[in-house]
Amino acid sequence: MAEDAGKRIHRAERPRLDGNVEIEKVSEVKFVIRKESVPGMNKDIDIYADMEMLGRMRSDRTLRQAANAAMLPGLASNMMVMPDGHEGYGFPVGGVEAFDAHEGIISPGAIGFDINCGVRLIKTDLSEDEIRKNVGKLADSLFKNVPSGVGSKMHLGFSQKELERVCEEGVNFIIDKGYGTEKDIEHTEENGMMEGADFSKVSDDAKARGLFQLGTLGAGNHFLEVQKVEKLFDKDTAEGYGLREGQAVIMVHTGSRGFGHQICSDYLRTLVEYQSRNNIVLQDPELSYADIGSKEADAYLGAMKCAVNYAFTNRQIITSSIRKSFEEVFGKDSEDLGMGLLYDVSHNIAKLEEHKVEGMRKKVYVHRKGATRAFPKGHRDVPKAYRSLGQPVLIPGSMTTGSYVLVGTESAMEQTFGSSCHGAGRVMSRHQAIREIPTSKTMNELRRKRVEIRIRTKKLVSEEAEWAYKKIDDVVQVVEKAGIAKIVARCAPIAVIKG
C-alpha cells in the first residue's frame, strides 16, 4: 500500500474502467483484469462470465467497484466477480475477496446491508399433482402464516433477553422452543450459529427493529416458493440429497431484515470516524473498513455475527410456519409429509476460513457478498449426510423461471475460496423495471406457466419480473463450465409468496 504524507492511500482518483482497460480472456467463461491495468490495484480481478454478462458488467459500475475493492489492503488473493455480478453498494454484488487473518481488514460494504441473506430448501414427499390440487388453499395459508412486505412483523412474545439468546445462540435456541428438529441444525451452514456473536455490540435501534421481525420474509427480492423438481442433471448426487423428479420442495430466500440493515448502517458511520482518525483515504467511501484486531473490527464482527444468527433463526421460524401451513392443508404431520430441511446457505457474510494461498495453508476472512459457499466432498464443514457428495449450493432464480441446486467442488477451493454465484443477478434497477415492464406482462407469464402468486404490492410484480434479471440458466452454466460448482437439479415454481 502506498504511503504519501503520512496517509494510507488507495488512490485518490476514481479509476475509469472504459474500453481502454484491457480485459484478458483466460477461458470461455473466465476473464482477468491485471493489477497493472488500473493504478492502485493490489491484486488482479478474476471475472466469471460469458461475453454477454461481461458486457453488462462493463455497462454499469460493476467492474469499477471491483477495481476499487482490489485496492483494499491485506488482500490474500485476487478479487473475484461471479457471473451474477452487478453494481452494488461500494462492493459489487457477486463479489468475493479474502483478507489475511492477521494483516487484513473487515469491510461491511463487502458483506452488505442484509447480513446473512440466504436460501434454504425444504423437501416434501408430495408430488406436483398433489400440490396443484390444493395450490390456492396452500398459497393462502402460506401468505397468512409467513408475514411479508416492508416492515412486516410477527409477534412471538419474545423479550429482549430472548432476542439476545437468538443472536448469540442462533438456531439452537429456537429449536429448544419447538421451532424445528436437531436435523435442521445439522443441515444449516455453521450449524445455525456463528460463534463469537456479542449482543452488547448491537445498537438499541437495531434491537428495536429486530424484536418483531423474526419469522418474516420482508420485501424486495425475498420470497417463499413452492417448487417442483423439474429435471435432474446429476442423479447420484440428487439421490443423496433426497431429490427426485416431480417432487415438491419449498425454497425460502430472506435474511436478517431491518436488524442486519441497522447493524450495517451503524458501523458504516463508526468507520467514517475510524478512517479519519487513522488518516485513511479511500477510493470509495462505501468501502470503509477496520483493520483486523482493532476494537472497531472486533465490535463489528461481534454485531455481524448476531445478525448472522438472527437470519438463520428467522429462516428457521419461517420453516416452522411453512410446516404448519402444509399440515393445515394436507391434514398430516410435517414429518409424515417428509418435510426435512435439505440445506440452508448464506450469501452475504464474512467468515474466518482456512484455505491454500500460494501453496500454503492460511487463515483468511472470506467476504462473500451475493456469493454462496460451495465446499467440496470430504470437507469437514459439509454436513455428515452430504460429506461424500459435497455441499448443496442453492441458487434462486426469478418467479417465472426456475431455481437450481448445485454441489460444491474441489476446483472452487482452488479458484474462488470455495465460492459460487448466489442467483441470477439484476440487469435493471427496480425503478427501471417498474417503468419498462408492465405488470400485465409478468402476470400473463405467471398464468401461462401455471404459477400461483400471493403478493403484498403489485409494483413488486414488475420489480421482480424475469426480464429484470439475467437468465439463471446461463449463470449456472458459467459456474459449471468454470468448475466452481456442478449442476444437480433444476426446480420450477408452482406458487410464489412475496412482500
Cα(31)–Cα(57) distance, integer angstroms: 12
* Residue 83 CB partners (closer than 8 Å, separation 6+): 29, 48, 49, 50, 53, 94, 421, 425, 470, 474, 475, 478, 479
* Residue 10 CB partners (closer than 8 Å, separation 6+): 1, 40, 68, 71, 72, 73, 281, 282, 283
**422 assigned to active site:** yes
Locate 301 and state its grid cell: 464482527
Rama region for 67: left / alpha / beta (φ>0; ψ in -120 to 50; rest): alpha
Residue carrying the nine cell digits 449450493: 393
Question: Angle 210-216-217 (CA atoms, 0-180°, nearest 5)?
Answer: 120
Single-letter residue type at 239: E
Q: Which of 222, 347, 422, 431 is catalytic?
A: 422
- The strand pair at 485-498 and 348-357 is best described as unpaired
Cα(394)–Cα(390) distance, integer angstroms: 13
Single-letter residue type at 309: N
Radius of gyration, alpha carbons of the chain? 22
What number of other Cβ atoms are within 10 A of residue 39's Cβ? 12
* Residue 357 CB partners (closer than 8 Å, separation 6+): 76, 77, 98, 364
DSSP string, 134-202: THHHHHHHHHHHS--STT--------HHHHHHHHHHTHHHHHHTTSS-HHHHHTBGGGG--TT--GGGS
Residues taking part in catalysis: 422
